[in-house]
């Protein structure tokens, strides 16, 4: 199983053992009770505690390596003054993330006690940090679904507060859990909100852990090119920083990306490199996580003995640390490797053990893999009925997952547009506020005897502005008449042609995709002949209204002929445009026109063409028209490209 929380290295590995202590937070058990060199000579100090605590919770902590973060936690433990309740509340709220704790159930109790004390002290920030710990423990004990509810509570707790950085961490955490649950578009929306919160907190650069989660989400949504670009560059950047935890994480994510995109050989190489780095830097649990991924690639390559060996090594490392978060995938992959060797009865036993663990975690993708693998073993054992039942479960779940991925991709397009629109509006409002502030300062410097002249100037400006607005409105009305089709109120041919030329120039400048859809209503002349031209006009109006409801906010619909229309899809490649075309096709098929004839069915044919680097408006329209002709020739009511 992949690492599920990346903001803190030990979020999957968190645990506590409470030690007896009076008046001071319990200390986690470690293999050695000897103090570290950095803290051996330290004494309790309120001022030094405050300085280290500010580093632990401040903007710098977002880029801190886990080793540096852990070292500061241990300094805080030594510097905490005896009997200082305020600082003990602060200390508990961060010490619950220490990697020295060993039992997640006791860890949850410790975080709950930290939160109770913070609430009694009226310390919202410490409550939020304790809730952050609680999310990690609940995830390990009860799965991602319950952890998501805890993340919702943390976001609600902080949304209307001044704790912008902490809200950013909460949104990042909730986004990561949404991504694990398959809600990729919602996850990316939370990540964008987190970026805004971090900027509001004064963090003027991108947070590596947040950008990592964004890349993971793009990987899960199927945008492998963009995700691969990030992970590859991140490996080089983290090697330069000597942040080996992140190097391992990026290599593991690259391995999963290659495996999911159908390249198990590259996946195997990436996982092997992650294991090499982890062992070189004495990270046995990270190596074990990478071995789980390596085993998946080896199963895909038919290297079943090697996969069983990798899984045995991973299992031994997890058991040495009493870690069970990966048990579901260890069992599933062991079953697949055993099945590959023809040992199907043993494989069925592993699948039976893995099923309740996967169902508890709620990962639908892994559940589909289990059904598929179990069906193959049932079939090999001669259990045709049970094999068919599992194949049906797999098919139903896989269809649902694919449909959800397409839906998430569509939602992502909409969310990206809304985010850009919101950022532009915020920029405009900030500019206006800055302008008003400058104007007010200028007005404050004006002496009293200038007031009358100022008022006269304002009055004159108002008159001129009113005249200018009136003239502008008149110009806009004339322009609208020229750029709008009077029957359907969509863009006119002139407007569409101008828009396409501008879009082609913009696409050439930004290297972003551009696609046009050419639509033609099927057998429209028959509608006019049978019901009259007034009814035909009503059909055109109803059809454009139905189409507009299916388009993204930035897509432009225009009429260029009698029953011929164009949709200009800016920043959409061929695959995305085909999704839009399918929606338009469905909207046309479901159109109801009871006022004309309840039995009347409207259909349309669509030609799709993506702009090439040297395209002109004429050449792009010609290719779309050729695709439309093929759609007509192939039977109408279809999309061709």
- Of the two residues 595 and 10, the one the predictor is more confident about is 595
pLDDT value for 609: 96
Q: What is the mean pLDDT of the segment spanning 534-547?
A: 93
What is the model's pLDDT at position 33? 33
**What pLDDT does residue 130 have?**
93
Residue 264 vs residue 428, higher pLDDT: 264
Q: Would you state the structure tokens that stand for residue 306, as one six-digit string?
A: 């090697």
Residue 435 or 240, more confident: 240
In this structure, which topology does domain 493-640 adopt according to CATH?
A: Alpha-Beta Plaits (3.30.70)
Distance from the Cα of residue 245 to its chain's centroid: 22
> Cβ distance 427 to 394 under 8 Å?
no
Q: Where are the domains of the chain?
A: 1-221, 457-484, 493-640
Residue 263's pLDDT is what?
A: 92
Q: Does the structure show a pLDDT above 50 at 84?
A: yes
Report pLDDT for 332. Answer: 94
Instruction: Kindly tell me if the per-residue pLDDT of 110 is higher than 50.
Output: yes
Q: Is the pLDDT of residue 415 over 60?
A: no
pLDDT recorded at residue 429: 66
Structure-token pair, residue 427: 């920029």
- Predicted pLDDT of residue 405: 62
> Same CATH topology for 1-221 and 493-640?
no
Q: What is the pLDDT of residue 23?
A: 36
- pLDDT for the residue 409: 57
Of 201-205, 336-340, 416-420, 446-450, which gets the smallest average pLDDT?
Answer: 416-420
Asked if pLDDT for residue 59 goes beyond 70, the answer is yes
Quote the CATH superfamily of domain 1-221.
Tetratricopeptide repeat domain (1.25.40.10)
User: Would the pLDDT of 408 be above 60?
Assistant: no
Report yes or no on whether pTM surpasses 0.75.
no
Per the DSSP assignment, residues forming a β-bridge with 606 are: 519, 639
pLDDT tens figures, 206-251: 788 888 888 888 888 777 888 888 888 888 888 888 888 889 999 9
- Which one, of 548, 546, 558, lies nearest residue 602 by Cα? 546
Please write the tens of the pLDDT for every residue from 359-382: 887 778 888 889 999 989 999 999
What pLDDT band is residue 447 in, cutting at 50, 70 and 90?
low
Q: At what angle do helices 244-260 and 208-220 cross, to 10 degrees?
A: 10
Strands 604-610 and 564-570: unpaired
Cα–Cα distance for residue pair 404/416, rounded to 1 Å? 18
Q: In terms of pLDDT, which residue wins out, 425 or 132?
A: 132
| Phi-psi category of residue 591: left, alpha or beta, with phi > 0 → left and psi -120 to 50 → alpha | beta
170, 155 Cβ separation under 8 angstroms? yes
Question: What's the whole-number mean pLDDT along residues 567-587?
Answer: 94
Average pLDDT over the chain, rounded to an integer: 84
- For residues 133-137, give the mean pLDDT: 91
State how far the Cα of 185 lies from the Cα of 413, in Å rounded to an integer: 9
- Report the SS3 class of residue 564: strand
Neighbours of 56 (CB within 10 A): 22
């Amino acid at each position: 199983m992949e690492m599920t929380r990346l903001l803190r290295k030990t979020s999957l590995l968190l645990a506590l053992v409470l030690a007896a202590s009076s008046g001071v937070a319990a200390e986690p058990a470690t293999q050695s009770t000897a103090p570290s060199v950095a803290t051996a000579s330290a004494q309790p100090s309120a001022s030094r505690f405050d300085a280290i605590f500010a580093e632990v919770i401040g903007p710098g902590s977002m880029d801190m390596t886990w080793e540096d973060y852990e070292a500061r936690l241990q300094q805080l433990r030594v510097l905490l003054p005896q009997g200082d309740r305020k600082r003990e509340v602060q200390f508990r709220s961060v010490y619950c993330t220490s990697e020295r704790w060993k039992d997640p159930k006791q860890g949850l109790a410790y975080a709950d006690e930290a939160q109770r004390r913070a609430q009694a002290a009226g310390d919202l920030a410490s409550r939020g940090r304790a809730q952050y710990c609680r999310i990690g423990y609940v995830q390990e004990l009860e799965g991602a679904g319950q952890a998501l509810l805890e993340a919702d509570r943390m976001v609600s707790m902080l949304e209307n507060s001044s704790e912008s950085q902490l809200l950013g961490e909460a949104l990042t955490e909730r986004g990561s859990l949404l991504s694990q649950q398959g809600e990729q578009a919602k996850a990316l929306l939370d990540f964008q909100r987190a970026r805004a919160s971090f900027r509001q907190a004064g963090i003027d650069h991108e947070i590596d852990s947040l950008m990592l989660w964004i890349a993971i989400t793009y990987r899960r949504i199927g945008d492998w090119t963009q995700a691969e670009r990030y992970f590859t560059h991140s490996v080089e950047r983290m090697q330069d920083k000597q942040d080996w935890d992140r190097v391992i994480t990026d290599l593991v994510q690259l391995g999963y990306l290659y495996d999911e995109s159908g390249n198990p050989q590259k996946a195997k190489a990436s996982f092997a490199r992650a294991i090499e780095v982890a062992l070189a830097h004495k990270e046995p649990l990270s190596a074990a996580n990478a071995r789980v991924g390596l085993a998946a690639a080896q199963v895909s390559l038919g290297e079943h003995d090697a996969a069983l060996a990798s899984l045995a090594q991973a299992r031994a490392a997890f058991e040495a640390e009493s870690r069970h978060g990966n048990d579901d995938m260890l069992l599933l992959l062991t079953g697949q490797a055993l099945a590959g060797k023809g040992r199907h009865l043993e494989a069925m036993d592993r699948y039976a053990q893995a099923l309740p663990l996967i169902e508890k975690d709620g990962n639908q993708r892994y559940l589909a893999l289990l059904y598929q693998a179990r069906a193959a073993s049932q079939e090999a054992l001669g259990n045709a009925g049970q094999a068919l039942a599992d194949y049906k479960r797999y098919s139903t779940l896989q269809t649902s997952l694919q449909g959800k991925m397409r839906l998430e991709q569509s939602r992502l397009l909409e969310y990206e547009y809304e985010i850009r629109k919101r950022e532009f509006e915020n920029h405009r409002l900030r500019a206006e506020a800055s302008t008003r502030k400058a104007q007010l300062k200028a007005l404050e410097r004006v002496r009293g005897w200038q007031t009358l002249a100022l008022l006269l100037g304002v009055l004159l400006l108002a008159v001129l502005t009113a005249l200018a607005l009136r003239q502008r409105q008149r110009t806009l009305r004339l322009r609208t008449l020229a750029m709008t089709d009077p029957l359907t109120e969509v863009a006119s041919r002139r407007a569409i042609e101008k828009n396409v030329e501008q879009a082609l120039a913009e696409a050439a400048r930004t290297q972003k995709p551009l696609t046009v859809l050419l639509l033609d209503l099927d057998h429209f002349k028959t509608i006019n002949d049978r019901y009259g031209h007034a009814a035909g006009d009503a059909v055109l109006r109803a059809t454009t209204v139905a189409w507009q409801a299916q388009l993204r906010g930035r897509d432009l619909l225009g009429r260029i002929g009698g029953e011929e229309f164009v949709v200009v899809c800016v920043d959409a490649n061929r695959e995305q445009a085909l999704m839009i075309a399918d929606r338009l096709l469905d909207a046309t098929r479901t159109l109801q026109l009871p006022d004309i004839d309840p039995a009347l069915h409207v259909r349309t044919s669509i030609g799709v063409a993506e702009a090439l680097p040297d395209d002109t408006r004429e050449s792009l329209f010609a290719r779309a028209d050729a695709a439309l002709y093929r759609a007509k020739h192939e039977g109408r009511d279809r999309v061709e490209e």
